[in-house]
Amino acid sequence: MIIPNFRPRLRAGLPWNRRQSWLPPTWAAPVAGLTRRLGGLLLAAGLVGLLLAPLLGEALFPRLWSIEPLTYIGAALLILGLVVHGAAHLTQEALRRGEAAAVEDRRIAERWTRLTQQYFELFNHDLGRPLRRILGKEREIRELLQDTDAAIPPSVRELLDEIEEQTPSFRLMMSNIQVLIELETPNTGATLHAVEPAEVVRRIVDRYSLVAADAQKQIAWWSEPTEFGIVYCDSSAIEHIVTNLVDNTVRYAGSYVEIGLTRDEDNFYIRVGDDGPGIANRYLPFLFDRGWTPEVARREERTSSGLGLFIAHTLAKRYGGDLTVTSVAAPDPEHHTAFLVTLPLRPKQ
């Protein structure tokens, strides 16, 4: 089976991110300036040599091929100076144009980001309102049905559950879009602040417990040490990473999802595992590629965007950590999947 490779697309990104790699190194401009000055000095020395040659040449050196050698030296210096000066000038000009292009790129990128964020917020707000209305009505119907003494038909309960279960997916989708916009924004530095990872995990478990319970699955979580304490990271990033992993594992788990939080001297670790059917080895190298899902490889209809694991992996890397996966696929009786997020306790700012 041929598995499409998504890596080129993943690395390409948006044009301004691509073009950043063409920018010259920071030392290029000062070196070009010095070279141009050196060229000017050589040019001046050559001119002086040519002017002095008729006066001093014969007194200093014997003639060579009927001309005093100072003339040769002056001419050579003049030509060398012209070449060096010209080349340095052309380099400086190219650098200046490159810099102007980069500034223009950044301006376009910032405008794009601003516009995208504005559109996103508008879209999020306008889409959120009818969704809240639908959800509110669904909860109202549930309440009304509970108030009546008659038993709720299972099919009606299933319909109501279906509406409720779609909500975490929508919330995740919206936050993933927001993260994608941020990731494509040029030069957005990582923001670090005090975060309590145990509380972040607790919130995510709050969100997914009901969804898991409806699907007859359970989520358990633990931390070691029990009082896990504070780390310096970006709470939104940790939340995005773990939410995407939990969303994934709850979807594929057989009946059980476990989240473990541990730390050592340098890093803290979040392990998200499930007892699902596992992932075939041939798929593992592509798991964190943007847009990749097993359905894509099988040329079937996609059931997810394939962005969640890509975002989790990219964010973990961005904060100086990593996201890895180990999996044993069925029919092995020990089948399971475990994602391990590693993040530094003292990240570089």
Partner 1 sequence: MADSKILIIDDEWESAIVKAVQRRLEEEGWRTVIVEPQSRWLVGDEFEAAAIYVIEAERPDGVLLDVRLGEHRDDQFKGLEILRYIVEHYPTLPVLMFTQYAQGPARDTAVRGALRWNAPVDYIDKLASPEEVVLRLRRLIGAAPELIPVGAHLLVDVGAETVSARPERNADLRPVDDIHGMKFEIFRELAAAWYRSPGELVPFSRLERYSEGEEARASLRVRIREIKVSIGKSLGINLGANDLIINVRDRGYRLVPPQM
Binding site for partner 1 (CB under 8 A): 117, 124-125, 128, 131-133, 135-137, 139-140, 143, 164, 167, 170-171, 175, 178, 182, 191, 193-194, 202-203, 205-207, 209-210, 218-222, 224, 226, 236, 239, 258
Q: Distance (Å, rounded) from C-alpha 149 to C-alpha 6? A: 55
Among residues 21, 71, 13, the alpha carbon closest in space to that of 46 is found at 71
Q: How far is the CB of 180 from partner 1 (least distance, A)?
A: 12
Bridge partners, 337 (sequence order): 274, 327
Q: Kindly tell me which of 117 and 304 has the beta carbon lying closer to partner 1.
A: 117
Q: How far is the CB of 202 from partner 1 (least distance, A)?
A: 5
Q: Kindly tell me which of 102 and 183 has the beta carbon lying closer to partner 1.
A: 183
How many beta carbons lie within 10 A of that of residue 333, not counting itself?
A: 6
Q: Distance (Å, rounded) from C-alpha 151 to C-alpha 147? A: 10
Q: How far is the CB of 33 from partner 1 (least distance, A)?
A: 40
Q: Distance (Å, rounded) from C-alpha 166 to C-alpha 163? A: 5
Strand 256-263 relative to strand 218-224, pairing: parallel
Q: How far is the CB of 12 from partner 1 (least distance, A)?
A: 25
**b/e per residue, 100-129, with b = 16+ CB within 10 A?**
eebeebeeebeebbeebeeeeeeeeeeeee
Q: Kindly tell me which of 17 and 236 has the beta carbon lying closer to partner 1.
A: 236
Q: Kindly tell me which of 104 and 140 has the beta carbon lying closer to partner 1.
A: 140
Q: Distance (Å, rounded) from C-alpha 191 to C-alpha 235? A: 9
Strand 193-195 relative to strand 231-233, pairing: antiparallel
Q: Kindly tell me which of 18 and 137 has the beta carbon lying closer to partner 1.
A: 137
Q: How far is the CB of 7 from partner 1 (least distance, A)?
A: 28
Q: How far is the CB of 195 from partner 1 (least distance, A)?
A: 11
Q: How far is the CB of 324 from partner 1 (least distance, A)?
A: 20
Q: Kindly tell me which of 297 and 340 has the beta carbon lying closer to partner 1.
A: 340
Q: How far is the CB of 327 from partner 1 (least distance, A)?
A: 19
Q: Kindly tell me which of 19 and 171 has the beta carbon lying closer to partner 1.
A: 171
125 residue type, one letter: H
Sign of CA dihedral 236, 240, 241, 245: positive
CA distances from 171 to 124, 132, 168 (A): 10, 11, 5
Tokens standing for residue 110: 């910032």
Q: Kindly tell me which of 132 and 298 has the beta carbon lying closer to partner 1.
A: 132
Q: How far is the CB of 225 from partner 1 (least distance, A)?
A: 9
Residue written as tokens 């359905």? Answer: 295
Q: DSSP per residue over 168-235, as a string?
A: HHHHHHHHHHHHHHHHHSTT-PPP-EEE-HHHHHHHHHHHHHHHHHHTT-EEEEEEESSS---EEE-H
- Contact between 281 and 326 under an 8 Å Cβ cutoff? The reply is no
Q: Kindly tell me which of 35 and 262 has the beta carbon lying closer to partner 1.
A: 262
Phi, psi at residue 338, to the nearest 5°?
Answer: -135, 125
